[in-house]
Amino acid sequence: MSSPLAGLPHQIPFRATSHIEIVDDEHAEGIFHHSAADSLGSGMPLEVMVIEAMAQTAGVLAFRGSSEPGFLSAIDEARIDHALFGGESFRLKVRLVKSFGRIHRFDGVALDGETEFARARFYLAGSDDGDAGSEST
């Protein structure tokens, strides 16, 4: 049985999550590890990779079983507590709030123990209508 990570098209350095576990049809968890050597090379703050890691975790949940790719289409109400320090790790928890057609809305948090490092609402879009049910509550 392959790891859920195998469902991600991303490769290092853009594979932001190092472990994914599907909890149920509406919840998934992941792990984000930050190394001091990480760099996006474009001046973009690395903290956004925590949000990307949430989206990748959610993407595996939303598009499992689909042969078509999905995309991160929007981020809203993102909050990040502080600049990343090398060696920090966060547990990612994402929840599917609603699917409508090919759009899926998720809420996600990144936790250091019980302390919240980041949270965001984000939307994933499938490339067709066949990747998920029409209703999720």
Write the CB contacts of 28 (distance below 8 Å, at least 6 apart in sequence): 4, 20, 21, 22, 57, 58, 60, 61, 93, 94
Sites for another protein among residues 30-59 (CB under 8 A): none
Both tokens assigned to 122? 């984000």
Residue placing its CB nearer to another protein in the complex, 105 or 119:
105
User: Phi and psi at residue 9, in whole multiples of 5°?
Assistant: -80, -15
Tell me if 130 contacts another protein by CB under 8 A: no
Among positions 38, 48, 73, 95, the unique one binding another protein when judged by CB under 8 A: 73
Is there binding between residue 134 and another protein (CB under 8 A)? Answer: yes
d(CA 124, CA 122): 7
* 40-48: long-range contacts, CB 8 A cutoff, minimum separation 24: 40/13, 45/83, 46/84, 47/80, 47/83, 47/84, 47/118
| Number of residues engaging another protein in binding (CB under 8 A) | 16
Residue among 67 and 137 whose Cβ is closer to another protein: 137
Please state the closest distance from residue 86 (CB atom) to another protein, in A: 35
Instruction: Tell me the one-letter amino acid at 6.
Output: A
Residue 19 CB, shortest distance to another protein, in Å, is 28
Complex with another protein: residue 109 or 125, whichever CB lies closer:
125
**98 belongs to the binding site for another protein (CB under 8 A):** yes
* Residues of this chain that bind another protein (CB under 8 A): 73-74, 97-103, 105, 123, 125, 129, 134-135, 137
